[in-house]
Amino acid sequence: MKLVKVAAAVLNQTALDWDGNAARIVAAIGAAREQGVQVLCLPELCLSGYGCEDAFHSPHVPRMAARVLHELLPETRGLIVSLGLPLWYAGGLFNTAALAVDGRLLGFVAKQHLANDGIHYEPRWFRPWPEGQVAQVAWDTARYPLGDLVFDCGGLRMGFEICEDAWVGNRTGASLARRNVDLLLNPSASHFAFGKHEVRQRFVLEGSRALHAAYVYANLVGNETGRAIYDGDAMIAAEGRLLASGPRFSFAEYHLTTAVVDLDVGRMNRARTGSFQVDVGRAETGCVSAEFPFPPRRPEAPRVDTPDWETGSNRKEEEFARAVALGLFDYLRKSRTRGFVVSLSGGVDSATVATLCALMVRLGMAELGAAGFAQRLAGLVQLDPSQQPPQVVQQLLTCVYQATRNSSQTTLRAARELAAALGAEFYHFQIDDLVQQYVAMVSRAVGRPLDWQQDDLALQNIQARVRSPGVWLVANLRGALLLSTSNRSEAAVGYATMDGDTSGGLSPIAGADKAFLRRWLQWMERQGPAGIGPLPALAAINCQAPTAELRPPQASQTDEADLMPYEVLDEIERSAIRDKLAPAEVLAQMVVKPWPYTDEQLAEWVALFFRLWCRNQWKRERYAPCFHLDDENLDPKTWCRFPILSGGFARELRELTPQHEMP
């Protein structure tokens, strides 16, 4: 047996945080050494941070990354360690993994396939490395190999698939396997999205089986730069079997997942698999060798600890709770903010945001302990390690209910009870006098009284806008961040007041649709995350029909009466925006489904959606940054670009419903 102990480290890095990133790398290397690890894989671009965006265009960034790599080399003594960094060569920037062996640099592998979809724009900064090419790059005071490399360290042959290299059909690992590698390292920066864990696990397991190479997958964890949330998900596999996996959505700064792999098993299976072809012409081409001792060691049993929530029927609800809670925690501490403020209306959206803030505290304290949680926020807020979660929530979360004459006792009671159940600070503002002062001032200016028959939308919007200054003032007084409560369904059709209910520095649920948020709150009321439990106070929210409460009570305003049923809206949005279907194609998909609505109603709603979508791109451009949760995001800065000014599908809608022409 040829036994080697390998490890995948997940790191909570921050773009351009050179000292912090280096400190976490050193801590992970130290933990690996203590655990007897011989080969350690760190995440993609872990030195600089993955999300440096256009800062990658600055020559300073790769220069500083090279300096930090030089400083870290002594830390790798006794180990084989991969470290990710941007590297200049021949007038282009390359996304590389440097391999350090026992304190010295061996060379750089450059990424061959660049992610260029969804939130990824890697070709904007990097160049893809051509397969089979090897060059020499000047670094520090010497020259090192760069490119499509294989490393032979003490008889262990290893290669790299850097994140996207493993996601494509012609994955890099296939050519590396033909060059007789024993071990594949995959340093990744793979953002969280619903259902993505299964995809990663499939290519890790299948890669280890089909390529007959042990596989080590290391990913980032946490909120690195504001929008993308990384879930960790470290894995080690061999011959199609998962040997070890790490926790997802960890609040820790780093986590190590280790396993002992038997290289001889992979070698034997390659030799006896008749269909496996060795590329004898390239077996030694681009191979960099170094001495490294592998003393005898004992086998270890696989350690795959899958929590119950990963296999339960409510995985999406669990992932949403844990991903956003982790995203909020990192946003809080990395933005140097002292807490969160939520304008709590007594409705679904603001209740979801407030609940997620409380879950941030409960999940974080459950993992880190009270002292560990307090230490991570040291310098921002003074937390007593003896405090219980509700007391910590009170320090970090302030909720404000802002009433006008159109607000009801039902929503006030729901907001007050929820804040009490969460442990949040709660304020009740009466803002109707301010609203009426604005109405009176404008009435005098235009020479007529404003009324609901002529001025419905304006009278609704002024109420939402008057709510903004007071709650911002509370946030400023506390050094806290105001959270916007807009959801994706509202963003799609512009059902929000700019500078009103869209106010805030972060919009944590703008990537989630309203139908899902309603289901999630019902799940929170009755079950809740594993280890945390339900929140019965949400019953007062869940029993209501969603309403903005901006029209007089006798109008019985509801969101769905203003728009359409949310399930219909979300289905139209997916077909129109995610799937890029034309209005007639969307309607054709809608009418064959078992809706309790007529074809005429569906046609009207399809036409309404497209009209509102086109009119409200300017609003989506101004929304606060939102968390990326799935591949249906509407954020124009990272996912879904659409012109602010357009023809508005006028011809398509005339052909769809001739009786409802565009105004």
- Confidence category of residue 658, pLDDT binned at 50, 70, 90: very low
CB atoms within 10 A of CB 95: 30
% of the chain with per-residue pLDDT over 70? 98
The amino acid at residue 583 is P
327 shares a domain with 241: no
Dihedral angle over CA of 402, 405, 409, 412, nearest 10 = 0
CATH code for the domain of 153 = 3.60.110.10
Per residue, the 3-state secondary structure of 128-173, as one string, reads CCCCCCEEEEEECCEEEEEECCEEEECCEEEEECCHHHHCCCCCHH
Matching residue, tokens 């790398």: 25
- Confidence category of residue 631, pLDDT binned at 50, 70, 90: confident
646 shares a domain with 526: no
pLDDT reading at 279 higher than 90: no
Domain count, the chain: 3
Q: pTM for the whole thing?
A: 0.95
Nearest to 348 by CA among 399, 404, 415, 427: 415
pLDDT tens digit string along 309-324?
Answer: 998 899 999 999 999 9
pLDDT at 507: 97
pLDDT tens digit string along 426-459?
Answer: 999 999 999 999 999 999 999 999 999 999 999 9
Cβ distance 428 to 403 under 8 Å? yes
514 shares a domain with 463: yes
57 shares a domain with 140: yes
pLDDT tens digit string along 142-166?
Answer: 999 999 999 999 999 999 999 999 9
pLDDT at 660: 43
Largest CA distance in the chain: 92
576 shares a domain with 510: no
297 shares a domain with 186: yes
pLDDT at 657: 62
226 shares a domain with 148: yes
What does 467-485 look like in DSSP terms, one character per residue?
HHHHHHHHHHHHT-EEEP-
- Confidence category of residue 281, pLDDT binned at 50, 70, 90: low
Indicate the residue among 543, 560, 577 that finishes a domain.
560
568 shares a domain with 556: no
The H-or-E segment that residue 558 falls in is none
**Which DSSP symbol is given to 95?**
E
pLDDT reading at 283 higher than 90: no
616 shares a domain with 515: no
Give the mean model confidence (pLDDT) for residues 273-300: 83
- Of the ranges 277-286, 378-387, 506-515, which one carries the lowest mean pLDDT score? 277-286
Three-state secondary-structure class, residue 404:
coil
The amino acid at residue 79 is L
- Confidence category of residue 294, pLDDT binned at 50, 70, 90: very high
Indicate the residue among 515, 539, 560 that finishes a domain.
560
Give the mean model confidence (pLDDT) for residues 121-126: 96
Indicate the residue among 276, 307, 338 that finishes a domain.
307
Tokens of 172: 């890099």
650 shares a domain with 542: no
pLDDT at 276: 73
pLDDT at 149: 97
CATH code for the domain of 626 = 1.10.10
pLDDT reading at 219 higher than 50: yes
Matching residue, tokens 């009119």: 615
Give the mean model confidence (pLDDT) for residues 462-469: 96
pLDDT at 659: 46
Cβ distance 285 to 178 under 8 Å? no
The amino acid at residue 365 is M
Show the domain range for 34.
3-307
Give the mean model confidence (pLDDT) for residues 262-288: 82
Give the mean model confidence (pLDDT) for residues 337-366: 97
pLDDT at 661: 42
348-376 vs 315-334: helix axis angle to the nearest 10?
60
Give the mean model confidence (pLDDT) for residues 209-235: 96
Three-state secondary-structure class, residue 254:
strand
Cβ distance 88 to 76 under 8 Å? no
pLDDT reading at 549 higher than 90: no
41 shares a domain with 101: yes
CATH code for the domain of 429 = 3.40.50.620
- Confidence category of residue 306, pLDDT binned at 50, 70, 90: confident
The amino acid at residue 271 is A
Better pLDDT: 209 or 283? 209
End-to-end CA distance of the chain: 76
78 shares a domain with 153: yes
- Of the ranges 426-440, 539-553, 591-605, which one carries the lowest mean pLDDT score? 539-553
Matching residue, tokens 């022409």: 661
